């Protein structure tokens, strides 16, 4: 059951509606007049924002080491400051899709989606303490190199291929969404926008490297924040304040938070947004090459952790402000839906339309908003291009090239790949045109393709017994099943039910029609159950499938002996958990410590129990045997060294050969 939370107040339905309708009745303009409002000053502001981004890239191409080494090109020589890196992390996947999609979600379905904010409080610490330390301590350039060290080269190549497809499709969505949204209300054609974004970000990414990407991200996220806040402040002021906005939204069933329905086919529920989206965002913050590469630009693990934590307030604030923008937008259009009134052709054009209706009379402000939308696209595309160029060089070229590339040649190859992927993203914009709701399409892409990658990394980092066969089979089966579900959902398009909206308040010159129901390929009952699973669960399903399939396959094909796994490949927090909470580990430490106390000062530092491994080995889980064996070996070696020194000092022997015979 879905409970709706109303905001009590003195204004009831008809009163609130009439109050806000009176403020908007004369503000509804035709599409032609909206285009005419986007004037010369708006173009100046818009072009200026693009020019600043290009100049940042040019600056880093000509300064410092001039991007002549792969270390500088891909990792910024591991010496970048924390704050801009944190802003870059924030901007990388909070794109124009976040601004446009979140506002549209609030307008059509209400505030239920805001609960995704709670998932951020799980994602950020998980990335900071469980995943990031593994990549940082291995000093990798490509995150997928971990999979070769942990499992096999085949596993690494599969992950690289999946990641590449994921990012190329995502870039196409990010390029298309703002271009479509702005075309109707600014007069800028879709392909003019696509080419502008694609060309500028490919330019500064290919010549300026990761430094240019990070500093332009920092500049662009500032524009994003400022532009959306300007929209909320001006829009709510025109409507009589935020109180009136919230009351209008509540009266028309837009304030909804408590949908606890456990059915996974329900589009947005408390469980799906907190638990399901946790896996979606963890696939980004935990294991995505774009994020891992940013962590590695910092000089210490502690700085990388700090950069991740600084994202939490930024994530929460931006999504909250975008949600408010959607509610303000609904308060203005609640009695005359622009889509049904045929003022726009797609729901993602709602926010740009609102901006032109609200800010269109202020020269430069519409251009500033357009700059914010384009900045969101630029930051995401540049991050994606840079990460794709990195994996192409590290995983493909270096992985298969028999001779080693010179650093200068590798740098040129990286720049060539950056140009290639930028052009490819532009060419694939046509694919994005077929995907519908951009916010849902983007998150579904990360679930279908990012979920299996998160799963195989999780298998390797937290389950020492998993082997290469389990990893590859689990990855492939997970990808196949989630892809099947996602494609089925796309083909059959399960119907969704937005909250009701009216056209009763539209001016008479608008030819508004109110459809009896949204078009859909089939009714819900006619669609197979698993095709109706909400997109928010895709990443979780994919991750669990890798583990559920990979572990039994590993058992059947001979588990990896934990002592053969480099300790750095396992999460340090996992090892600490085993030591702290597993009963035998606590007993073993207590026993060894007590042995040390009985053996004097040397034994306190290096406690020894020579018979412990003999008496207990073989009765424990393999990971315990491995840890015990390593500990006993170290203890025996150090104790023997201690005995040798004591013997030499006491008897004044200098014959090391004689002493070593006692070891």
Q: Which helix (H) or strand (E) holds 332?
A: helix 311-333
Question: What sign has the CA pseudo-torsion 411, 412, 413, 414?
Answer: positive
CA distance 315 to 218: 14
CA distance 139 to 299: 11
CA distance 559 to 467: 6
CA distance 545 to 478: 5
Convert the pLDDT of each residue in 489-500 to its tens digit: 888 888 888 888
CA distance 232 to 236: 6
SS3 433: coil
pLDDT of residue 293: 93
pLDDT band at 14 (very low <50, low <70, confident <90, very high): very low
Tallying the residues shown for the chain, one arrives at 663
Q: For tokens 């069933």, name the residue.
A: 253
pLDDT band at 517 (very low <50, low <70, confident <90, very high): very low
CA distance 49 to 219: 9
CA distance 297 to 294: 5
CA distance 539 to 424: 26
pLDDT of residue 289: 93
Contact between 175 and 194 (Cβ < 8 Å): yes
Q: Is the pLDDT of residue 377 over 70?
A: yes
Give Cα 376 distance to the centre of its chain. 14
Q: What is the pTM of this model?
A: 0.81
Contact between 399 and 157 (Cβ < 8 Å): yes
Q: Which helix (H) or strand (E) holds 4?
A: strand 2-4
Contact between 630 and 638 (Cβ < 8 Å): no
Mean pLDDT of the chain: 80
pLDDT of residue 436: 58
Among 28-32, 198-202, 339-343, where is mean pLDDT lowest? 28-32
Contact between 322 and 102 (Cβ < 8 Å): yes
Instruction: From residue 311, give the alpha-carbon distance in Å to each of 91, 94, 300, 317, 573.
Output: 10, 11, 18, 10, 21
Q: Minimal CA–CA distance to 536: which of 315, 188, 306, 278? A: 278
Convert the pLDDT of each residue in 397-412 to its tens digit: 887 877 778 888 888 9
Give Cα 43 distance to the centre of its chain. 32
pLDDT of residue 192: 85
pLDDT of residue 126: 95
Q: Minimal CA–CA distance to 333: which of 430, 248, 232? A: 248
List alpha helices for 261-309, DSSP H: 270-271, 277-285, 289-295, 301-309
Q: Minimal CA–CA distance to 113: which of 273, 313, 265, 276? A: 273
pLDDT of residue 123: 96
Sequence-distant (≥ 6) Cβ neighbours of residue 661 within 8 angstroms:
none
CA distance 610 to 599: 13
Contact between 373 and 96 (Cβ < 8 Å): yes
Instruction: Go through the domains of the chain in sequence order and give each one's CATH number.
Output: 38-456 (1.20.1730.10), 582-660 (no CATH)
Contact between 101 and 439 (Cβ < 8 Å): yes
Q: Minimal CA–CA distance to 514: which of 527, 525, 501? A: 501
SS3 256: strand
SS3 259: strand
pLDDT of residue 573: 82
Q: Minimal CA–CA distance to 626: which of 593, 578, 571, 594? A: 578
The pLDDT > 90 percentage for the chain reads 39
Q: Minimal CA–CA distance to 606: which of 632, 628, 630? A: 632
Instruction: From residue 268, give the alpha-carbon distance in Å to each of 276, 347, 390.
Output: 10, 18, 36
For residue 156, count other CB atoms closer than 10 A to its CB: 24
- Structural tokens at position 252: 């028309």
DSSP state of 357: H
CA distance 490 to 375: 29
Q: Is the pLDDT of residue 447 over 70?
A: yes
Q: Which of 160-169, 187-196, 587-596, 601-610 has the highest mean pLDDT?
A: 160-169
pLDDT of residue 581: 66
Among 14-18, 52-56, 302-306, 509-513, where is mean pLDDT lowest? 14-18
pLDDT band at 613 (very low <50, low <70, confident <90, very high): very low
DSSP state of 520: -
Sequence-distant (≥ 6) Cβ neighbours of residue 372 within 8 angstroms:
99, 223, 224, 226, 227, 228
Convert the pLDDT of each residue in 556-601 to its tens digit: 998 888 778 888 999 888 877 776 766 655 555 554 555 444 444 4
């Amino acid at each position: 059951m879905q409970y709706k939370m109303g905001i009590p107040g003195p204004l009831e339905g008809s009163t609130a509606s009439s109050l806000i309708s009176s403020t908007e009745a004369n503000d509804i303009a035709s599409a032609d007049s909206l285009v005419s409002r986007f004037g010369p000053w708006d173009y100046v502001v818009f072009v200026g924002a693009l020019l600043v981004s290009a100049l940042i890239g040019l600056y880093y191409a000509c300064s410092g080491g001039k991007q002549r080494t792969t270390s500088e090109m891909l990792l910024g020589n591991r010496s970048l400051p924390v704050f801009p890196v944190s802003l870059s992390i924030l901007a990388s996947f909070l794109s124009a899709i976040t601004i446009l999609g979140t506002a549209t979600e609030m307008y059509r379905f209400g505030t239920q989606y805001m609960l995704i904010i709670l998932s951020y409080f799980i994602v950020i610490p998980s990335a900071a303490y469980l995943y990031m330390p593994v990549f940082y301590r291995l000093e990798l350039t490509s995150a997928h190199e971990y999979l070769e060290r942990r499992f096999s080269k085949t596993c690494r190549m599969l992950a690289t291929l999946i990641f590449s497809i994921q990012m190329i499709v995502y870039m196409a969505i990010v390029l298309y969404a703002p271009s479509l949204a702005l075309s109707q209300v600014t007069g800028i054609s879709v392909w003019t926008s696509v080419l502008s974004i694609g060309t500028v970000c490919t330019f500064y990414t290919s010549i300026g490297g990761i430094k240019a990407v990070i500093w332009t991200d920092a500049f662009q996220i500032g524009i994003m924040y400022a532009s959306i806040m300007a929209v909320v402040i001006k829009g709510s002021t025109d409507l009589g304040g935020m109180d009136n906005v919230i009351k209008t939204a509540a009266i028309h069933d837009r304030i909804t938070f408590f949908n606890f329905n456990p059915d996974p086919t329900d589009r947005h529920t408390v469980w799906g947004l907190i638990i399901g989206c946790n896996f979606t965002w963890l696939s980004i913050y935990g294991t995505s090459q774009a994020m891992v590469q940013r962590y590695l630009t910092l000089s210490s693990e502690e700085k990388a952790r700090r950069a991740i934590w600084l994202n939490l307030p930024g994530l929460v604030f931006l999504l909250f402000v975008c949600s408010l923008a959607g509610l303000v937008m609904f308060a203005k259009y609640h009695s005359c839906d622009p889509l049904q009134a045929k003022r726009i052709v797609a729901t993602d054009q709602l926010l740009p339309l609102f901006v032109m209706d609200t800010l269109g009379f202020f020269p430069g402000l519409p251009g500033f908003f357009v700059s914010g939308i384009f900045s969101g696209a630029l930051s995401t595309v540049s991050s994606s291009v840079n990460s794709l160029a990195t994996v192409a060089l590290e995983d493909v070229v270096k992985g298969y090239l028999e001779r080693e590339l010179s650093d200068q040649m590798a740098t040129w190859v990286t720049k060539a790949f950056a140009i290639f992927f930028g052009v490819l993203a532009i060419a694939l914009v046509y694919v994005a045109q077929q995907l519908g709701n951009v916010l849902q399409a983007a998150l579904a892409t990360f679930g279908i393709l990012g979920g299996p990658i998160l799963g195989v990394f999780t298998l390797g980092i937290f389950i020492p017994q998993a082997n290469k066969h389990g990893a590859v089979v689990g990855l492939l089966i997970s990808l196949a099943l989630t892809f099947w579900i996602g494609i089925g959902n796309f083909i059959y398009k399960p119907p969704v039910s937005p909250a009701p909206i009216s056209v009763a308040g539209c001016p008479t010159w608008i030819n508004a029609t109110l459809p009896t129901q949204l078009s859909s390929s089939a009714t819900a009952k006619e669609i197979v159950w698993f095709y109706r699973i909400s997109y928010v669960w895709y990443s979780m399903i994919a991750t669990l499938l890798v583990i559920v399939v990979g572990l039994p396959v590993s058992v059947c094909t001979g588990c990896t002996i934990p002592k053969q796994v480099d300790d750095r490949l396992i999460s340090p927090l996992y090892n600490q958990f085993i030591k702290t909470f597993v009963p035998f580990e606590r007993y073993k430490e207590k026993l060894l410590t007590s042995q040390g106390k009985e053996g004097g000062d040397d034994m306190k530092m290096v406690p020894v129990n020579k018979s412990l491994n003999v008496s207990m080995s073989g009765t424990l889980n393999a990971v315990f045997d491995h840890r015990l064996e390593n500990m006993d070996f170290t203890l025996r070696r150090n104790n023997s060294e201690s005995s040798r020194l004591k013997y030499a000092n006491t008897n004044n022997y200098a014959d090391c050969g004689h002493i070593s015979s006692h070891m």
